[in-house]
Structure 1
Amino acid sequence: MLTLDQIRAFVAVAEELHFGRAADRLRMTQPPLSRHIQKLERTIGVTLLERDNRRVVLTDAGRGFLEDARHMLTLVDTAGDRARRIANGATGTVRLGFTAVSAISMLGALLRRLAEELPEIDVILHERVTAGQVDGILRGELDLGLARPPFDIATLDSRVVFREPLCAVVPDGHPLAALDRPLAPYDFNGLPVISYSPVQSRYFHELTVRFLTNAQARIEQQVHQILTAVLLVAAGRGVALAPASARSLGIGGVTFCDLVRGGGDPLDGGDVAEPVELHVIWDRTSTNPALGRVLDLLPGIES
């Protein structure tokens, strides 16, 4: 069985091509040095060094082994440092879940900041809806998620990292787009509305339902993704509510309109609608040191 002492002995002799100088370099006598080389050659089953009383010469096998032996010693020398860096979170891997709209609002800024401040942490991206992110974290497939509430606070920790207005999305040329004021729920009376799945997109489903509680709107269809809702509006299938960052999707044929909060009269100076929140979520029992380093960066991105 190979030992580090044998590897170090061989490298010293191969580089010095002299047993006496190699022994001095390793601060040992020549007999144990010779025994290390002999045991190494028996273990490998080939002659690495040709030697006599006058000279030491590397065989072809010895020259090939020397390259690998140096690499092994380098790995040993750096392994401890790498382990310490992993333990304190300076290097490692973080598996990050995100939704399509969260990617628009802050994923780019987060990745740029990680690249600048934690360049030795690898971030592996997984696009999943919120339910899929929660499941992935609980299964140990993800370390971190950019997702929408609510969450099971018994197992997950969360923090708000981004807030933005909820807006109406209407087709270009729609009468609502011509109103020079924020829209109230009664503005949607009788209109077909593209809403969201109460299971796959629970958060946006509930935001839509709460805003339109006192309206006589017609829910025409329920979708899973913000992108799908905006595309259906562009196709003239109805109107929808979406976060302001959906403007960055760059879909033509739609207009984004401000909303008043909770149905207040816009003529009374009503405020914008209830904000849309994006949370970072993680397993509070996680033992990944790199996760803590990434979480430390997030407050600076909060908006």
Structure 2
Amino acid sequence: MVTLDQIRAFVAVAEELHFGRAAARLRMTQPPLSRHIQKLERAVGVTLLERDNRRVVLTDAGRGFLEDARRMLSLVDTAGDRARRIAGGAAGTVRLGFTAVSAISMLGALLRRLSEELPDIDVLLHERVTDGQVEGLLRGELDLGLARPPFDVATLDSRVVFREALCAAVPEGHPLARLGRPLTPGDFAGLPVIGYHPGQARYFHELTVRFLANAHPRIEQQVHQILTAVLLVAAGRGVALVPASARSLGIEGIAFCDLVRGGGDPLHEGAAGEPVELHVIWDRNSTNPALARVLELLPDREA
């Protein structure tokens, strides 16, 4: 069996081409150094060094073995350093779940910051709706998620990392788009509205129901994702309430309108009422050291 001590002994002799100098470099005497070389040659099965009383010369096999031996020692040194960096959270892997709209609002900025400040942490991306992210965290498939509430607070920790306005997406040329003012709940009375599934898209379902509670619109579709709602609006199937970041989806044939709850109170970032929140969620029992370092770089919008 080849040992690291034998490899280090061989590299020292091969570089010094002198047993005395190699022994001094390794802070050992010549007899054990010679035994390391002999055991290495027996293990490899070839002569690596030609030596007599006057000189030490590498054989062709020895020159080839020297290249590999140097790589092995370098790998051992860097492996130890990497292990220490992983234990300290400066290196490693974080598996991040996200939704399409969360990607628009902050994923790009987050990935750029991680690349700049924690370049040795690999971020593996998984596009999943919120329920899929929660399941992934509980099964150990994800380390972190960018998702919408509510969450199981018994096992998951969360905090707000982004807030934005709720707005209306309407087809271009729609009467609501021509009003030229922020829309009130009453403006949606009797109109076809694309709603959200109460189970699979609970957060936006509740935001929509709460805003339109007294408007009595016609809910004609219930979708799971913001992107689907916006595409249906573009197809003329109704209007929808969406987060302001949906404006960046770049889908043609849509106008976006601001909202007011009533009494002129706008639905804007930080307003009392129902701003749209994006949370970062993680398993509070996670043992991934890199997760803690990533969380340190995330914004905190709880206040």
TM-score (norm 1): 0.94
Q: Runs (4+) of structure 1 moved beyond 4 Å?
A: 300-303
Give runs of aligned pairs for residues 133-172 of structure 1, distance below 5 A: 133-172=133-172
Instruction: Report the AA paired with residue 55 of structure 2.
Output: R
Give ranges in structure 1 of 5+ residues lacking alignment. Answer: none
1:29 aligned residue: 29
Secondary structure in 2 matching 1:109: helix
Instruction: Report the AA paired with residue 271 of structure 1.
Output: P
1:119 aligned residue: 119
Alignment partner of 1:270 out of 265, 268, 276: 265
Secondary structure in 1 matching 2:13: helix
Give ranges in structure 2 of 5+ residues lacking alignment. Answer: 268-272
- Most deviating of 27-36 and 245-254: 27-36
Percent identity of equivalent pairs:
85
Instruction: Give the drift of 1:199.
Output: 2.2
CA–CA distance in structure 1, aligned partners of residues 56 and 265 of structure 2: 91
Instruction: Give the drift of 1:302.
Output: 8.0
Contact 2:195 2:205 in 1 (8 A): yes
Number of positions where the alignment pairs a residue of Structure 1 with one of Structure 2: 298
Contact 2:13 2:19 in 1 (8 A): yes
TM-score (norm 2): 0.94
1:74 aligned residue: 74
- State the Cα RMSD in Å: 1.6
2:288 aligned residue: 288
Instruction: Report the AA paired with residue 143 of structure 1.
Output: D
1:116/1:240 CA distance change after superposition, 3 Å: same
Instruction: Give the drift of 1:301.
Output: 7.9
Secondary structure in 1 matching 2:86: helix
CA–CA distance in structure 2, aligned partners of residues 293 and 200 of structure 1: 31
Secondary structure in 1 matching 2:177: helix
2:299 aligned residue: 299
Secondary structure in 1 matching 2:125: strand
Instruction: Give the drift of 1:209.
Output: 1.4
Instruction: Report the AA paired with residue 4 of structure 1.
Output: L
Query: Per-residue displacement from partner, 1:156-214 (whole Å, max 9, x unpaired)?
Result: 00000001111111111111112233222221111111111222211111111111221
1:5/1:301 CA distance change after superposition, 3 Å: farther
Secondary structure in 1 matching 2:297: helix
2:227 aligned residue: 227
Instruction: Report the AA paired with residue 183 of structure 2.
Output: L
CA–CA distance in structure 2, aligned partners of residues 88 and 30 of structure 1: 40
Secondary structure in 2 matching 1:178: coil
Query: Per-residue displacement from partner, 1:201-228 (whole Å, max 9, x unpaired)?
Result: 1111111111122122111111121111
Contact 2:146 2:280 in 1 (8 A): yes
Instruction: Report the AA paired with residue 76 of structure 1.
Output: V
Contact 1:162 1:302 in 2 (8 A): no
Contact 2:159 2:302 in 1 (8 A): no
Contact 1:110 1:301 in 2 (8 A): no
Instruction: Report the AA paired with residue 292 of structure 1.
Output: A
- Most deviating of 194-203 and 133-142: 194-203
CA–CA distance in structure 2, aligned partners of residues 63 and 177 of structure 1: 77
